[in-house]
Copies of this chain bind each other. A is one copy, B any other.
């Protein structure tokens, strides 16, 4: 093994912390520093020795960093940071606003290409590993249908939405696949399923003092886009119950490709994830992708890339010879 790959983290929320944890399991990489918008001395990193700098210091540190992992959010941070930082760094991010991916790709591609940098966007598990399952499933079974089920898992966006409802002090939302729908898909039937038939939504809500429970329930289950197309259950719990029973961030789900290779022969491909911690798993994907980005950059592949462009072997610390001998 040569010099370790020098990694830096931009943004230190749950995801950034997950990246720090993941790097501890990857001895071929080294965490150079964390960059944050908060005052650096107020940041408590997982490892006490991790250097912490201000985000503005990044510009002067390009020579120290092989790959910068962007751990900001897709709404506010990445649309600005992604294109800006791809001009000076090789980057990996988890931009996950599916509808805006083509625009984001173009915005990152131009500066990366102009400055001979490599930028892998939209890595994680969805987009990311699930996307790969969709592409490969479709390529292997062209006569077929693809189904993505999420959960059971805590949805950050939907949890935020219920917390904005007047009368709600706190709350979380779980997305749950409908077992009957899953069973039908696994049987090879290729059913047509409505939004309501695929998932249910389960909320655990702490009311503000004096709030009207029934009004809150009604406001949640009828909320456009977020809940109105689903069967939603609202459970009222105490602040203590919420903390005790709903503090983790599990998630997961599965992508199923169901198809036929001939009239009589049904084939089923299923890729599933059962995640104890959503941000830590996403972070682990980003870290493996950082290794691939470093190698793509060394090979002269400049510009924006996605997981569709990454040969699986580049994710592994092992050599191609070793992979062929031991894992093929």
Binding site for B on A (CB under 8 A): 18, 21-22, 25-26, 98, 101-102, 105, 122, 127, 129, 131-132, 134-136, 138-143, 186, 188, 252, 261-262, 264-277, 280-281, 283-285, 288, 291, 306-313, 315-317, 320-321, 323-325, 327-328
Contacts and interface: CB of A to CB of B under 8 A. Distances in A.
B261 A284 contact: yes
B135 A312 contact: yes
A324 B105 contact: yes
Contacts of A142: 25-26, 317
A315 B288 CA distance: 22
B313 A311 contact: no
Given A270-B272, A271-B270, A328-B131, A315 B102 contact: no
A22 B261 contact: yes
A309 B320 contact: yes
B307 A312 contact: yes
Nearest to A317: B139
Given A324-B101, A325-B101, A325-B102, A21 B261 contact: yes
